[in-house]
């Protein structure tokens, strides 16, 4: 498998191992950073495209605004850097991309800069659970509320909560944690959004459910509408997870992966369901570009 050897830091391409930031910089000390995880997919012809690059950079800009970062990098600068870091690393397989913007100096609670950024390309294989599905548990850790640490922005510090839930799930013998909001409604997984199927209707927690407004979630909803699958965005109760015919998670990292049990109760017949498989196939075609549909979602490298 290919290895990352070059990273772009503040506009300069440098050896991957040489990227540095001071341990007392606010990006490290308080986790004052926002990031995006993206994927570049290899088409069967050998060319690469980045999936929904513009939407990822728009969400990053929202995060920089909410954190009130001073003089943040422009969308054009970051877009060029993402494409350039892929070319420089010359992957021969799909790549996982990270764009991150952080405060790079020491400061006080209200310090807003100086802001630095990186663009990186890393190898990352598809999850082995893509085919088989995951065993999930409803975590006793709850999802972050919008009025404390807004989960709508992809802030690095938010992942402390995701990590606690994942550590607990793994310690208890599960693959993955599902989190409820502070009001006890289903929110999402530690690093992925969630869908379920009930009576032929695809259901996902609405945007007021303390979710990250996931780009994959939006992709799945668009594909569902195009495949005439009935769709509801609404509040979801915990017990709906136990009686659903299908449950799946979605995100750039995990892509679409079935949840085959929740708290040891089988979901449906305990195997990835037909709607999940149908959407997985449609998703794979649009991300890899083996269909002409949604060419606006794929940026050529
Ligand atoms: C907490 C959380 N929710 C949802 C997602 C899925 O978001 P996206 O589809 O934009 O990758 C992620 C992605 O990493 C995430 O970290």
> Which tens digits make up the pLDDT trace of 163-211?
999 999 999 999 999 999 999 999 999 999 999 999 999 999 999 999 9
Q: Where are the domains of the chain?
A: 6-123, 129-288
Task: Report residue 20 as tokens.
Answer: 């540095």
User: Domain 129-288 class?
Assistant: alpha beta
List Cβ neighbours of 83 (8 Å cut-off, separation of 6 or more).
50, 299, 301
User: Domain 6-123 class?
Assistant: alpha beta
Q: For residue 193, how far is its CA from the centre of ligand 1 (angstroms)?
A: 6
Cβ contact 232:203 at 8 Å: yes
Q: CATH topology of 6-123 equal to that of 129-288?
A: no
Q: How many CB atoms lie within 10 A of CB 253?
A: 17
Using a 6 Å cutoff on CB, does residue 216 contact ligand 1?
yes
Q: Which of 36, 187, 212, 279 to mutate to test the pocket of ligand 1 (most atoms within 8 A of CB)?
A: 212
> Which tens digits make up the pLDDT trace of 83-133?
999 999 999 999 999 999 999 999 999 999 999 999 999 998 888 888 899
Q: For residue 252, how far is its CA from the centre of ligand 1 (angstroms)?
A: 6
Query: What's the rounded mean pLDDT across residues 263-288?
Result: 97
> Which tens digits make up the pLDDT trace of 17-35?
999 999 999 999 999 999 9
């Amino acid at each position: 498998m290919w290895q990352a050897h070059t990273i772009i830091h503040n506009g300069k391409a440098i050896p991957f191992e040489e990227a540095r930031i001071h341990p007392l910089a606010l990006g490290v000390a308080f986790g004052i950073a926002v990031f995006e995880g993206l994927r570049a997919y290899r088409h069967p012809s050998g060319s690469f495209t980045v999936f929904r690059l513009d939407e990822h950079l728009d969400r990053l800009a929202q995060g920089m605004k909410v954190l009130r970062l001073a003089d943040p990098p422009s969308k054009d600068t970051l877009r060029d850097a993402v494409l350039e870091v892929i070319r420089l690393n010359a992957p021969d397989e799909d790549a996982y991309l990270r764009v991150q913007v952080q405060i790079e100096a020491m400061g006080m609670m209200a310090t807003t800069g100086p802001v630095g950024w990186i663009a990186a390309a890393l190898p990352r294989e598809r999850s082995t659970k893509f085919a088989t599905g995951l065993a999930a548990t409803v975590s006793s850790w709850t999802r972050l509320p919008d009025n404390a640490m807004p989960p709508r922005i992809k802030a690095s510090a938010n992942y402390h909560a995701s990590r606690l839930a994942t550590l607990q799930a793994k310690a208890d013998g599960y693959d993955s944690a599902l989190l409820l909001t502070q009001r006890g409604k289903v929110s999402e997984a530690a690093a992925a959004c969630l869908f379920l199927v009930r009576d032929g209707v695809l259901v996902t927690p609405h945007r007021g459910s303390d979710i990250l407004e996931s780009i994959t979630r939006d992709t799945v909803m668009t594909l569902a509408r195009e495949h005439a699958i009935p769709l509801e965005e609404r509040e979801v109760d915990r017990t709906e997870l136990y009686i659903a015919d299908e449950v799946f998670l979605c995100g750039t990292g995990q892509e679409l992966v079935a949840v085959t049990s929740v708290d040891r109760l089988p979901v449906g017949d305990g195997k990835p369901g037909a709607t999940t498989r149908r959407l997985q196939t449609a998703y794979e075609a649009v991300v890899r570009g083996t269909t002409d549909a949604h060419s606006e979602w794929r940026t050529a490298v």
